[in-house]
């Protein structure tokens, strides 16, 4: 069996972290890595103990949600909070970092940015990464079968909850859940 590359492994970790995001506009995950070891991770969401966008909606000013701390910042702050050096580390992010996160990445001494999706790639952010000698590497991300199954199960749970909220007959919901379970069991058998 062939193992996945380090880049794909760490990118998968950033995508897993993204699933914890509480932002409704864009879920982002980030992992800081040094010497092939994850030293911190973050996702975009509100300050600890604060109101989350998924609960009350995004707080948008000038086209930006000001309630959200970006994934990259959360990962860098986690390193600062626990006294973990970021000098010479690398960061894996689901989306190309914004300008503010780019500046923090450079100041933290991170030497490479790996990202899987372009997202409003700011020309100035690209320029200062180049000036600072920070490598930019796009890593194509292919979700695993397990991740796709988890995403589908999450969507189904949400749909069943909506059906219950809309007073769909419990017997009808039970029939649909049974069908969904059968589909997942068949898929798992075909994978093995």
| Burial tier of 75 (Cβ tally within 10 Å: 0-12, 13-18, 19+) | buried
Query: Is 147 a known active-site residue?
Result: no
Q: Could you count the other beta carbons within 10 Å of the beta carbon of residue 180?
A: 16
Q: Quick one: tokens of 79?
A: 């390193």
Contact between 89 and 69 (Cβ < 8 Å): no
User: What distances in angstroms separate CA 142 from CA 7, 49, 117, 147, one per listed residue?
Assistant: 12, 33, 12, 10
Beta bridge partners of 92: 31, 114
Q: Quick one: tokens of 181?
A: 């379970």
Mapping DSSP to helix (H, G, I), strand (E, B) and coil, where does residue 48 land? Answer: coil
Residue tagged active-site, from 56, 72, 171, 172 = 72
Residues ≥6 apart with Cβ < 8 Å to 167: none
Q: Which residues are catalytic?
A: 72
């Amino acid at each position: 069996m062939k193992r996945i590359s380090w880049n794909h492994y760490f990118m998968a970790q950033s995508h897993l972290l993204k699933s914890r995001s509480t932002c409704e506009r864009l879920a982002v995950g980030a992992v800081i890595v040094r010497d092939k070891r994850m030293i911190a991770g973050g996702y975009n969401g509100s300050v600890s103990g604060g109101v989350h966008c998924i609960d009350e909606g995004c707080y948008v000013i000038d086209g930006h949600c000001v309630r959200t701390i970006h994934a990259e910042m959360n990962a860098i702050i986690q390193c600062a909070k626990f006294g973990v050096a970021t000098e010479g580390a690398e960061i894996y992010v689901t989306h190309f970092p914004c300008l503010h996160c780019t500046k923090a990445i450079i100041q933290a001494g991170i030497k490479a940015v790996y990202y899987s999706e372009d997202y409003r790639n700011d020309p100035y952010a690209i320029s200062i990464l180049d000036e600072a000698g920070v490598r930019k590497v796009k890593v194509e991300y292919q979700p695993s079968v397990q991740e796709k199954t988890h995403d589908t199960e999450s969507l189904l749970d949400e749909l069943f909850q909506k059906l219950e909220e809309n007073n769909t007959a419990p017997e009808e919901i039970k029939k649909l859940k049974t069908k969904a379970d059968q589909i997942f069991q068949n898929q798992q058998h075909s994978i093995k």
